[in-house]
Amino acid sequence: MNYTTAFCSSLNTIAESAWSMLTKGQGPFLQYAYLHALERSGCVGCKTTWQPHHLLIYRDDKLVAAMPGYKKFDSSGEYVFDHGWAHAYEQHGLHYYPKWLSAVPFTPVTGARLLISPDEDCSLLHSLAVTALRSLQDDGYSSCHVLFQLPELAEPWCNKGYLQRFSVQFQWYNYGYNTFEDFTNALTSRKRKALRKAQQKLASEGVTVTPLTGSLITQEHLSFFITCYQSTYLKRSGHQGYLNKAFFQQIFTDMADNILLVEAKLRGTAIASALFFFDENGLYGRYWGALNPIDGLHFECCYHQGIAFAIERNLPLFNPGTQGEHKILRGFEPTYCVSLHHLFDSRFHHAVEHFLDQETPQVARYFSQAAEVLPFNENVKTTLRTTTNASLKPVDAITKKRNDNET
């Protein structure tokens, strides 16, 4: 069999059907429609710092594996922070950028990164991918990074010399709840009463919240969401956000069946909107904005409505977005995220390895501390402690291995 590798600068060069064969069951953000909308709208490519540079692997003339990839000229929109590494390069008179990055732009959601056709030799394709990425050094790249990789798929990269970096997000898990009340009953009495009180307060003020999917989402709903999204970014960052109107228009056309839009009204007037994506694997909260910031509205639209929707659709998890310890007290559990890094200059590669030796135990402690303050009652916490202890093993294992090596 004849395998070849190549890089391409646009999904336009790939048939949608060929890409879709690799992404079945891989979540909404790796689908052709989502990634292509980013390119068509100019959110990546053009004059941005995200230049598409996707890795493709062919067996004869058939596409059998691919990695969504980008040539990056800064570290914006990644959510795995390596600014210190870039600064170290600069201090030594070297260029950290461009670097190559496999990720979904502006989307810190865990998923597969090397997308492999069923019945293919995964080990062989990993080796081919690593070899192809190593060749980027000749083109002036400093390094390769694979962000928000599925933890169970990290080992082949580590075996090829990639460094494993951990971070923590907070996710809600569906423990077989049939109703939203089942979930609230799993909380401590104090947290349950506080949640109900907050919902009742919003209702008493005249706030109504409506979840919308598919054909129920109108152009008016979309336009209002975009206004909320842009106004929120203007207040926080002084710009209108990474994503533009053309992108949102495209995904609402192509991916309506994977979109949940939650809209809040105050006595009949729209005041806030939140955008989620979903499929059978889970629900993913992405963007939110409010023109009238009412106390408790963000939690209701972005968290409680998402939990209720996940229960209604029997979805296994709800990822509400990155960062935010405030999520813990609303039932979102600490969850490890994994990224993988290879720096072509061995001196910097070893320096980063030493940095990660120190960072990893700190991340493990943070994970453990977060798990201890979850708001569930003692019966539920007993089950959760078993789960979180099991989740700690990847970090414990890598820490022990490094300590053994040092000894």
- Which residue, among 365, 348, 361, has the nearest Cα to 403 in the 3D structure? 361
Q: How many domains does the chain have?
A: 2
Q: What is the number of other CB atoms lying within 10 angstroms of the CB of residue 378?
A: 7
Let me know whether 63 and 137 are in one domain. yes
In percent, the amount of the chain with pLDDT more than 90 equals 87
Distances (CA, A) of 318 to 84, 173, 175, 301, 370: 31, 6, 12, 14, 18
Q: What is the number of other CB atoms lying within 10 angstroms of the CB of residue 116?
A: 20
| pTM for the predicted model, two decimal places | 0.93
| Residue 406 reports pLDDT greater than 70 | no
| Residue 376 reports pLDDT greater than 70 | yes
pLDDT recorded at residue 388? 60
Long-range (24+ apart) CB contacts under 8 A made by 155-160 are 156/122, 156/123, 156/126, 157/126, 157/130, 157/340, 158/340, 160/126, 160/127, 160/130, 160/342
pLDDT recorded at residue 233? 87
Give residue-wise pLDDT tens across range 346-363.
Answer: 999 999 999 999 999 999
pLDDT recorded at residue 382? 76
| Residue 187 reports pLDDT greater than 80 | yes
| Residue 168 reports pLDDT greater than 70 | yes
Tokens standing for residue 243: 């994503």
Question: In this structure, is residue 326 part of a structural domain?
Answer: no
Let me know whether 290 and 345 are in one domain. no
Question: In this structure, is residue 324 part of a structural domain?
Answer: no
State the average pLDDT for the chain: 93
Q: What is the number of other CB atoms lying within 10 angstroms of the CB of residue 125?
A: 21
Mean pLDDT on 265-280: 97
Let me know whether 37 and 19 are in one domain. yes
Let me know whether 202 and 263 are in one domain. yes
Measured in residues, the chain has a length of 407
Q: Label residues 326-352 b or e (16+ Cβ within 10 Å = b).
A: ebbebbbbbbbbbbbbbbbeeebbeeb
Let me know whether 396 and 279 are in one domain. no
